[in-house]
Amino acid sequence: MEKKQYELCLEILRRFHKANILNDFVLIGSWCIFFYKDYFSSVSYINHATLKTRDMDFLISMPDKIKQTIDIPNLLKDLGFVTAFRGTYGYIKLDHPDLIVEFLVPAKGKGTDKPYSVPKLGINAEALRFLDFLSENTIKVKVEDFYLNLPHPANFALQKLIVSRRRSKEDKAIKDRNIALAILKALITKRETNNVRQVFRSMPGKWQTKVIRGLEDAKEKEILSILKK
């Protein structure tokens, strides 16, 4: 199951790379944690952070600047993906028993519940808050013969802490918080304390407060003291 799922994930990335659209995306969500494994190869990596779901979320940071015209549902059709329309507004999900591919864009202004149409890719995307923060500081990891964009782990972890406080379901909030803490601890072990602090200071004041509250709830004194220095 695991191997099949990984193979399918790789095939999607290969096809996006071949279609010249992989650079327009940042992989976020639980699959991004999986691809951090090389970044954290020097430190012991985290059990619960690798608990990944089938969701493979692609962030399109600049949907209006996409140059290629590719019908993504058609590109993945022969792999067995079916197009599903979720919710009242019809957000597109590409479903397969091993993976669920979704697209997200950063919410602008007051935000909207309606899907953001990306006609060049034949999809729509869900606009969510705090995603700009993920795309403004990214790293590239090598996968086979191409590179994959991921948010910098510090940005990813701090964003997860903010999001965890907005979750209505407690189990999801705990999962987000556990992931965030595991990544922050791995960054500290990797001696990237200054980097974490720098990313934290680049956040708006209200976001910083949310991060601090998240850490206070989790009683993470070590990380708190690093951020407050």
Judged by CB under 8 A, does residue 97 bind other proteins?
yes
Judged by CB under 8 A, does residue 54 bind other proteins?
yes
Of the residues 26, 27, 60, 175, which one makes contact with other proteins according to CB under 8 A: 175
Judged by CB under 8 A, does residue 171 bind other proteins?
yes
Judged by CB under 8 A, does residue 96 bind other proteins?
yes
Of the residues 18, 51, 144, 209, which one makes contact with other proteins according to CB under 8 A: 51
Of the residues 43, 66, 70, 100, which one makes contact with other proteins according to CB under 8 A: 100
Which residue reads 């990313």 in tokens? 199
Judged by CB under 8 A, does residue 89 bind other proteins?
no
Q: What letter represents residue 214's amino acid?
A: G
Judged by CB under 8 A, does residue 64 bind other proteins?
no
Judged by CB under 8 A, does residue 119 bind other proteins?
no
Q: Six-digit token pair at 63?
A: 């949907």
| DSSP assignment letter at 153 | H
Tell me the HSE value of 53 on the side-chain side, using a 13 A CA sphere. Answer: 12
Q: Six-digit token pair at 61?
A: 């940071």
DSSP string, 2-70: HHHHHHHHHHHHHHHHHTT-GGGEEEESHHHHHHTTTTTTTSPPPTGGG---SEEEEEES-GGG-----
Min separation Cβ 105 and other proteins, Å: 22
Contact set with other proteins (CB under 8 A): 48, 51, 53-54, 77-78, 80, 82, 84, 95-97, 100, 169-172, 174-175, 178
